[in-house]
């Protein structure tokens, strides 16, 4: 035993040294975004750039594009501030050429604030890629990343969205994310699967607190508070997701708006097959004090959705609305209690005309 204890201690020390051996650069606020990018580009894969308290002026997107790279501040006092007229995203995680078969793995962003300075930006789109996709002026753009993490981040005042996740992102972890006063959504997720979003505080965004579309599948959103956004959650083409302990308060319109995608044809607006929201589960969903309805299911293809232990109260236009019966089932896990589904199907707030889309207009990537 006397020989084993020193050996174990030596092994532990070696492991600790190895775990802290990754290259690290520190960048002062005076270096700005250019200094941050230079530090990232000087590091090998797995390196970390550490920022101090203060404001970093950003004129071009800061890109994390090598596997395992990390950008870390020291808390909310570390601010990445987009320069007047920069008209670009502030941080890009991943690569425009990345996809599900060729992702950028293990990127990390943590402990800082992003201010998009939206009132001093002139346009929403930075540039178009060769395939036609637009790169929007979000606080954080996540493109084709796998096993990445974003923790303790604030995105505010962005010309487009706060954080937008897209292009085949897989197994992303977002924890401790706050977004407010963004021109569009606090959090937007498209082509995103097997990811986990928790401890979200999304408020006072001009569009939705959360916008989900274009194959948002097999994800979890947990412990989220969405307050005073235009919509709480906007969702299309989203399947097999779990929403656990989500609270939506004081949306200017509806709490949750669930729909299929409508496309313009020679015969008018038609629903696009395969864009349904189906098999989603909401656990302990609370929606209160919204200006519209608590929960709207706008199209008949959005079926097999379930709400457990939901509470809807004091919403100006009522609780659960379904365009047809039994698209959403409300259930209680408490013995002796019973939750009733919507009593009958009625039209959404007004009759839709042939020249109007069947849901609020949203941008797509």
Q: How does DSSP assign 234-248, residue by residue?
A: EEESEES-EEEEEEE
Model confidence over 176-190: pLDDT tens digits? 999 999 999 999 999
Q: 212, exposed or middle or buried, with CB in 10 Å at 0-12, 13-18, 19+?
A: buried
Q: Please give the CATH superfamily to which domain 26-331 belongs.
A: Single-stranded right-handed beta-helix, Pectin lyase-like (2.160.20.10)
Q: How far apart are CA 103 and CA 148, in angstroms?
A: 10
Q: What is the mean pLDDT of each run of 10 residues along the chain (365 residues)?
A: 46 40 87 98 95 98 97 98 98 91 95 98 96 96 97 98 96 98 98 98 98 98 98 98 98 98 92 97 98 98 98 97 96 68 37 31 42
Q: How far apart are CA 341 and CA 333, in angstroms?
A: 15
* Res 100: pLDDT: 80
- Name residue 81's beta-bridge partners: 57, 115
Model confidence over 225-264: pLDDT tens digits? 999 999 999 999 999 999 999 999 999 999 999 999 999 9
Q: What pTM does this model have?
A: 0.88
* Res 22: pLDDT: 64
């Amino acid at each position: 035993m006397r020989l084993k204890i020193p050996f174990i201690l030596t092994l532990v020390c070696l492991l600790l040294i190895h775990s802290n051996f990754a290259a690290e650069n520190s960048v002062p606020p005076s270096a700005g975004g250019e200094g941050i990018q230079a530090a990232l580009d000087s590091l090998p894969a797995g390196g970390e750039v550490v920022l101090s308290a203060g404001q970093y002026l950003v004129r071009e997107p800061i890109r994390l594009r090598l596997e395992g790279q990390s950008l870390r501040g020291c808390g909310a006092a570390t601010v990445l501030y987009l320069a007047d007229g920069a008209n670009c995203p502030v941080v890009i995680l991943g690569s425009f050429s990345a996809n599900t078969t060729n992702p950028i793995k293990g990127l990390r962003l943590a402990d800082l604030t992003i201010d998009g300075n939206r009132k001093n930006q002139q346009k929403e789109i930075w540039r178009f890629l060769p395939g036609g996709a637009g790169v929007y002026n979000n606080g954080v753009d996540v493109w084709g990343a796998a096993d990445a993490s974003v923790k303790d981040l604030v995105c505010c005042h962005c010309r487009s969205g706060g954080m937008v996740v897209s292009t085949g992102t897989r197994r992303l972890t977002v924890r401790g994310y706050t977004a407010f006063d963004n021109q569009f959504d606090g959090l937007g997720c498209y082509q995103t699967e097997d990811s986990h979003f928790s401890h979200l505080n999304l408020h006072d965004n001009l569009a939705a607190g959360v916008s989900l579309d274009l194959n948002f599948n097999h994800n979890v959103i947990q412990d989220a508070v969405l307050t005073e956004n235009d919509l709480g959650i906007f969702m299309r083409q989203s399947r097999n997701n779990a929403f656990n302990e989500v609270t939506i308060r004081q949306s200017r319109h509806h709490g949750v708006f669930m729909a299929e995608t409508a496309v313009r044809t020679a015969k008018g607006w038609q629903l696009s097959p395969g864009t349904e929201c189906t098999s989603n589960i909401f656990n302990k969903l609370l929606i209160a004090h919204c200006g519209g309805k608590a929960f709207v299911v706008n199209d008949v293809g959005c079926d097999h959705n379930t709400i457990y232990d939901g509470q809807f109260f004091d919403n100006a236009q009522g609780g659960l609305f379904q365009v047809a019966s039994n698209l959403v089932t409300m259930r209680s896990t408490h013995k002796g209690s019973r939750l009733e589904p919507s009593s009958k199907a009625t039209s959404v707030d007004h009759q839709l005309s042939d020249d109007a889309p069947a849901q609020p207009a949203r941008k797509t990537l």
